[in-house]
Structure 1
Amino acid sequence: MIARRLLVSVPLLFAMSFVVFSLVALIPGDAATTIAGGSDASPETIAEIREELNLNDPFLVQYGTWLKGAVQLDFGSSLYTKRPVSEELIERLPATTSLAAAVFAIVIPLSLLFGILGGLRPGGLLDRGLMFSTSVVVAMPPFWIGMVLISIFSVRLGWLPPYGYTPFSEDPLGWFTGIIMPAVALAAAGVAIVSRQLRAGLTDTMRSPFVRTAWAKGGDTRQVVVGHALKNSAIPAVTVLGILVGSILGSTVIVERIFSIPGVGTYIIVAVGNMDVPVIQATVLLFVVAHCIANLIVDITYGYLNPKVRAA
């Protein structure tokens, strides 16, 4: 099953790499002139950019040259800093990776908790409260939640730093205090959406005949809910969790900027402002690969939760 999913991902990655590379072709007018700063740019600067991006070659030759380098993790050099893009990405990946890990460390346990609490007693007071709360949270964009958190916990209470990032290896406590607010801002909508999906699935599953049979055999709550009902209810929630990877990555671009985290999100915003095409291509391709890996993990999780998927 994993091999089949990997084979399906290969043509998808090729197609997406072509789309990402075509970003240069979508620039109106002469790409080198636009990137160099417009009609006021010197001919030497335009020629340098044209040479650096291989714009003198036919389009398919340009793509082939870029793809060959991308496969080897060579995305060229930044037009702004003149440093290799791969080196700058390696410097910034730990911040974004640790932020993503903190987000999912919040989303997964809280979604399980709220989904199970609501699904076991649908229509109850706790369930109605959770449904109302999650509906409100879904309507809040992550950047707005981030600014509210800064206003409360940094400006008014002074408990947490309003911006900045400390590597975990240097100061674990400093890392936690710097990462908790952006992680909560990104995780809030994910917790609301996934818990609602899990609650809906668990509500239906608890009415199934096999669950009633498990109760009749004398199973306790942990055995029936965790051992039987939860696995069958989790597939829709896992699907939504995989889809959320893309939205979380997109929101990371803004949230990292708000909290001054030197990650990939901040990197791509600066690159867009500077028309730094090699950086934009590399970071967008990185997001695409991350999304494909998330989908592969979702497919593997399907096979664990439902044996029929492994045999299909």
Structure 2
Amino acid sequence: MIVKRLLTSIPLLFVMSVLVFSMIALVPGDAATTIAGGGNASPQVVQQIREELNLDEPFFVQYATWLKSAVQFDFGESLYSQRPVADELLERLPVTLSLALAVFAIVIPLALVLGIVGGLRPGGLGDRGMMFGTSVVVSMPPFWIGMVLISVFSVSLGWLPPYGYTAFADDPAGWARSIILPAVALAAAGVAMLSRQLRAGLADTMQSAYVRTAWAKGGDTRRVVVGHALKNSAIPAATVLGLMVGSILGSTVIVEQIFNIPGIGSYMIAAVSSKDVPVIQATALLFVVAHIIANLMVDISYGYLNPKVRAA
């Protein structure tokens, strides 16, 4: 099953790579002149950019050259810093990964607790409170939540730093202090969406015949809920969790900028501002690959949660 999913991901990755590379064709007018700064750019700078991006070659020749290098994790040099893009990505990737791990460390346990509380007693006081709270949180964009968190916990209370990042290897406690506010800002909507999905699935599953049979056989709450009902109701939630990867990656672009975190998101924002095409292409392709890997993990989780998927 895993091999089949990997093989089906290859055509998707190929199509997305073509779209990512085609971004340079969307630059209006002469791409080299526009990237160099417009009509006032010196001919030498324009020619240098034209050579670095192989703009003198036909489009498909350009793409083949770029793809051959990209497969080897070689995206050329940044037009702004003159450093290899791959080196700068490797410096910033651990920062974004640590932020993503912190987000999911918040999302998964909180969503499980809220989803179980609401799903076991649908219509109860806890369920209604959870549904109201999650409805409010879903409507709040992550960047707004981030600014509110900075205003409350950094400016007013002074408990946490308002911006900056500390590497985990240098200071684990400092890393936790620097990552908690952006992680909460990114995780809030995820907790709300995932808990609502889990609550809906669990409420339906608890009414099924096999769950009533498990209760009739004398099963305790842990065995019936965790061993039977929760596993089956987690399939739709796994889909939502996979889709959240894309939304979280998209939100990191703004949240990292707000909290001045030197990750992939802020790197992409700086590249867009400076028209650094090699960096934009590399970061966009990295986001695409992360999304495809997330979908692959969701498919694998289907096989674990539902044996029928493995058989199919």
TM range (shorter): over 0.9
Name structure 1 gaps, 5 residues minimum. Answer: none
Residues 98-155 of structure 1, C-alpha deviations (whole Å, 9 max, x = no match) = 0000000001111110000000000000100000000000000000000000000000
In structure 1, how many angstroms separate the alpha carbons of the residues matched to 2:132 and 2:86?
A: 45
Residues 231-289 of structure 1, C-alpha deviations (whole Å, 9 max, x = no match) = 11001111011011101000000000000000000000000000000000000000000
Residues 216-235 of structure 1, C-alpha deviations (whole Å, 9 max, x = no match) = 00000000000000011001
In structure 2, how many angstroms separate the alpha carbons of the residues matched to 1:170 and 1:36?
A: 39
In structure 1, how many angstroms separate the alpha carbons of the residues matched to 2:22 and 2:308?
A: 40
Deviation at 1:182, TM superposition (A): 0.2
User: Secondary structure at 2:26's aligned position in 1?
Assistant: coil
Find the counterpart in structure 2 of residue 122 from structure 1: 122
In structure 2, how many angstroms separate the alpha carbons of the residues matched to 1:110 and 1:306?
A: 24
One-letter code of the match for 1:203?
Answer: A
User: Secondary structure at 2:25's aligned position in 1?
Assistant: coil
Please show how residues 8-23 of structure 1 align to structure 2 within 5 Å.
8-23=8-23
Find the counterpart in structure 1 of residue 139 from structure 2: 139
Please show how residues 71-220 of structure 1 align to structure 2 within 5 Å.
71-220=71-220
One-letter code of the match for 2:38?
Answer: G
Q: CA RMSD in A?
A: 0.3
One-letter code of the match for 2:77?
Answer: S
In structure 1, how many angstroms separate the alpha carbons of the residues matched to 2:132 and 2:201?
A: 18
Identity fraction in percent: 77
User: Secondary structure at 2:261's aligned position in 1?
Assistant: coil
Deviation at 1:53, TM superposition (A): 0.1
In structure 2, how many angstroms separate the alpha carbons of the residues matched to 1:300 and 1:282?
A: 27
One-letter code of the match for 1:16?
Answer: M
In structure 1, how many angstroms separate the alpha carbons of the residues matched to 2:134 and 2:287?
A: 27
Residues 56-79 of structure 1, C-alpha deviations (whole Å, 9 max, x = no match) = 001000000000000000000000
Q: TM-score, normalised by structure 2?
A: 1.00
One-letter code of the match for 2:152?
Answer: I
Deviation at 1:174, TM superposition (A): 0.2
In structure 1, how many angstroms separate the alpha carbons of the residues matched to 2:92 and 2:213?
A: 53
In structure 2, how many angstroms separate the alpha carbons of the residues matched to 1:58 and 1:283?
A: 24
Deviation at 1:14, TM superposition (A): 0.6
Find the counterpart in structure 2 of residue 231 from structure 1: 231
In structure 2, how many angstroms separate the alpha carbons of the residues matched to 1:157 and 1:16?
A: 45
In structure 2, how many angstroms separate the alpha carbons of the residues matched to 1:292 and 1:285?
A: 11
In structure 2, how many angstroms separate the alpha carbons of the residues matched to 1:292 and 1:215?
A: 40
Find the counterpart in structure 1 of residue 290 from structure 2: 290
Deviation at 1:295, TM superposition (A): 0.3
Deviation at 1:37, TM superposition (A): 0.4
Aligned length: 312
One-letter code of the match for 1:108?
Answer: I
Deviation at 1:162, TM superposition (A): 0.3
Deviation at 1:27, TM superposition (A): 0.6
